[in-house]
Every structure is written in C-alpha cells, then in structure tokens.
Amino acid sequence: MFLNITFFETHSKQLIATLITVLVYFVLRAFLSSLVKKFGRKSELTDARTNLVWKYINMLLSSLAIVSLITIWGVKGDDIFLVISSVLTIIGVAFFAQWSILSNVTAGIILFFSFPFKIGDRIRILDKDFPIEADIEDIKSFYTLLKTSHGEEISYPNNLLLQKGIVIIPKGEREENEFTD
C-alpha cells in the first residue's frame, strides 16, 4: 500500500499527462474517423478505399501517441531518436528490397487523393505493347481491378497507372464502342 501511494505522489504529473494524451488520442481518432468517412462519401469513394486511408491515418496517430507517452515518462530524446532511427533503417532496408510494393502503395495513395479517374470510369491505357480498354471495378492499395468489355478481369499495378498515359472514355463514346464490338 505504501509503495502505491508513493508511486502516485512521485509520478502524478506523468499520470495526468498520460491521461490527457490518451483522451486527446481518442478524441482526435473519433474526429478524424468521421472526417475521413465524410470525405469518402462526398467523393463517392468505395468503403475499401476509405478504410485504407483511415488505416494509414490511424497508424500515424497511434505512432504520435506512443512517442508522446514515451516522452512524458522521461525517456531521453537521444534514446527515442536511436530507437526510431534503428526501426526506420530496418524498415527502409526491407522496403528497398520490396520497392515495387512501396511504389504501388504510394501510387494507391496518390490515386486516392488526386482523383484522375474513379470506379465506374472506362479507361484506355496507352501502352504500345499491351493496350487495354476496360472499366474500373475497384481501386485497391496495390492494384486497380479492371474489367474489359469481354468480361476479362485484370489487376493492374497502381504504379503503372501513374506511369502510363490514361484516356478516360466519356459515357457517350462508350455506348458507340459497345455497338461496334
């Protein structure tokens, strides 16, 4: 009993700061969740894309909360920097080995926020070796799911969508192409 009382007396500032940090974390999390959902609905995005962005934001918010809690409890800045730099070095080496995965995820985020095209659009990918004309069925974090007029489903890497020229076919032109096929 004596040990518990002295712990609370000596660490009361850290306990209060921890409580405030946790409350701010949950309030921000709820606010940002509703903001992302409203943005997704307003932009007519699929739930999968909205959930993907929410996962990225939640990871960032959680990381900031953890760093804040570590700082509150007196871990020295140099020690935090050493741990973070070590973790980032390991992650960097792993991602460098898997650069295509990182480039596809990055491209997926760019596609999500820049809206060059959306689900339901018919696109023509200007690739001299393998030209593709298809409808966008879904945009995932690593690839975009396309469906041709012949019913073929193609998963196309997101980084290639940013590298290749894309033509968005207007609805009126779509109907003309369907009659000529």
Q: What is the rounded distance in angstroms from the CA atom of residue 133 to the CA atom of residue 146?
A: 9
User: How do the domains of the chain map onto residue ranges?
Assistant: 2-97, 117-180
Distances (CA, A) of 48 to 73, 119, 167: 37, 12, 24
Which residues, other chains included, contact 7 with Cβ-Cβ below 8 Å and sequence gap of 6+?
Answer: none
Q: pLDDT digit string (tens) for 44-78? A: 777 877 887 888 888 899 989 988 888 888 777 67
- List, for the chain, all residue ranges whose pLDDT scores fall below the cut of 70: 1-4, 77, 94-99, 173-181
pTM for the whole structure:
0.48
Q: What is the rounded distance in angstroms from the CA atom of residue 145 to the CA atom of residue 153?
A: 7
User: Which CATH number, 2.30.30.100, 1.10.1200.10, 3.40.50.10860, 2.30.30.60, labels domain 117-180?
Assistant: 2.30.30.60
